[in-house]
């Protein structure tokens, strides 16, 4: 790859958190920026058209409407390497929980229930049509690399850029989060499950074994067990590992030994598919 890499980046159905994570490299940006030429990036540069011949394109967010889908397809045509950047691009992220509801319900909620201007009126003119659901980038085009995380840690962004500059494959963790969690594990199963606000967890013992809804056993490593290290259960934001087809199913399987306890949880879909609904084996709720 040439010394000066032409880079494009875009934020679609996401929150710009991945872009902010890149900026969080702070002074380390000085090590990589001289080798990059940002040729497209609405957040950082006023460039109207996606140019030809882009070396690496980072796509944050999935596709929610026809315009998103068109941009993703155009990016693929004009880029040598496309990266699904962050969990929303990789697995749909939290926006994909909207897949549990028909579009008409979502629109009514947004424009009829919560709108203060012309309540009950849903705009259609010059508005991109919603797709039937949120789609991860890889469901629309071929993706060369996936960098998960909500958002990815700054060092993962740096490792990605350095690897591509050197013509190497980025090193993405393949183990589960439990493997990098330092909490004490006895191999036991809880008889009752509770949310974080229900009591104060022990700071040493495995959160799952204490009965908290931690998804470390069904989530890709890479964050350094950031949440469990501050007494918060893992919510699964790094998505599934390479050896798992469906993150939610893996999580449900891990909780199965708790028996009736898991059945009593009020929002099982929200727990197990919080970040990966769009990439699940059943990616949306089927309308009856």
Please determine, for residue 152, whether its predicted confidence score (pLDDT) is greater than 50.
Answer: yes
| Length of the chain (residues) | 288
Range 86-96 average pLDDT: 97
Asked whether residue 165 carries a pLDDT value surpassing 90, the answer given is: no
- For the residues 169-192, what does the mean pLDDT come to? 95
Instruction: Report the C-alpha gap between 86 and 148 in whole angstroms.
Output: 4
Q: With a cut of 60, say whether residue 91 has pLDDT above it.
A: yes
**Residue 114, pLDDT score:** 66
- Check if the beta carbon of residue 16 is closer than 8 Å to that of residue 9: no
Domain ranges for the chain, please list them: 5-96+126-165, 173-288
pLDDT tens profile 199-251: 899 999 999 999 999 999 999 999 999 999 999 999 999 999 999 999 999 99
Give the burial string for 67-89 (b: 16+ CB within 10 Å, else e): ebbebbeebbebbebbbbbbbbb
Q: How confident is the model at residue 43 (pLDDT cuts 50, 70, 90)?
A: confident
- Residue 3, pLDDT score: 65
Q: What is the pLDDT of residues 116-130, one digit of tens each?
A: 667 678 888 888 999
What local confidence, expressed as pLDDT, does residue 30 receive?
86
Q: Which pLDDT band holds residue 286 (cuts at 50, 70, 90)?
A: confident
145-164 exposure pattern, b = at least 16 Cβ within 10 A, e = fewer? bbbbbbbbbbebbbbbbeeb
Cα-based torsion angle of the residue sequence 198, 196, 228, 28 in order, rounded to the nearest 10 degrees:
-140
pLDDT of 134 reads 97
Average pLDDT of the segment spanning 63-71:
97
CB contact at 8 A, 262 and 254: no
Percentage of the chain lying above the pLDDT 90 cut: 78
The reported pLDDT for the residue numbered 111 is: 82
Q: The domain 5-96+126-165 is classified under which CATH number: 3.40.50.300, 3.40.50.700, 3.40.50.720, 3.40.50.10860?
A: 3.40.50.700
- The pLDDT value recorded for residue 1 is 47
Q: How far apart are CA 37 and CA 26, in angstroms?
A: 18
């Amino acid at each position: 790859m040439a010394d000066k890499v032409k880079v494009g980046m875009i934020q679609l159905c996401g929150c710009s958190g991945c872009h902010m994570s890149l900026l969080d490299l702070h002074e380390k940006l000085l090590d990589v920026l001289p080798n990059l030429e940002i040729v497209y990036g609405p957040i950082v540069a006023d460039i109207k058209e996606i140019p030809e011949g882009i070396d690496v394109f980072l796509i944050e967010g999935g596709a929610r409407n026809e315009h998103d889908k068109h941009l993703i397809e155009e990016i693929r045509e004009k880029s040598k390497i496309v990266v699904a950047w962050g969990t929303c691009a990789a697995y749909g992220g939290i926006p994909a929980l909207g897949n549990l509801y028909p579009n008409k319900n979502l629109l009514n909620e947004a424009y009829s229930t919560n709108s203060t201007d012309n309540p009950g009126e849903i705009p259609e003119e010059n508005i991109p049509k919603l797709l039937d659901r949120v789609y991860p980038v890889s469901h629309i085009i071929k993706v060369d690399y996936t960098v998960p995380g909500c958002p990815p840690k700054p060092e993962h962004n740096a490792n990605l850029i350095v690897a591509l500059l050197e013509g190497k494959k980025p090193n993405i963790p393949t183990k589960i989060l439990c493997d990098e969690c330092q909490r004490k594990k006895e191999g036991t199963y809880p008889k009752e499950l509770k949310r974080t606000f229900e009591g104060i967890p022990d700071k040493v013992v495995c959160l799952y074994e204490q009965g908290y809804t931690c998804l470390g056993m069904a989530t890709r490593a890479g964050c350094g067990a950031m949440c469990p290290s501050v007494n918060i259960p893992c919510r699964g934001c790094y998505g599934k590992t390479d050896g798992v087809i469906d993150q939610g199913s893996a999580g449900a399987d891990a909780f199965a030994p708790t028996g009736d306890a898991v059945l009593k949880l009020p929002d099982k879909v929200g727990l197990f598919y919080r970040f990966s609904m769009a990439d699940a084996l059943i990616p949306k709720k089927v309308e009856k």
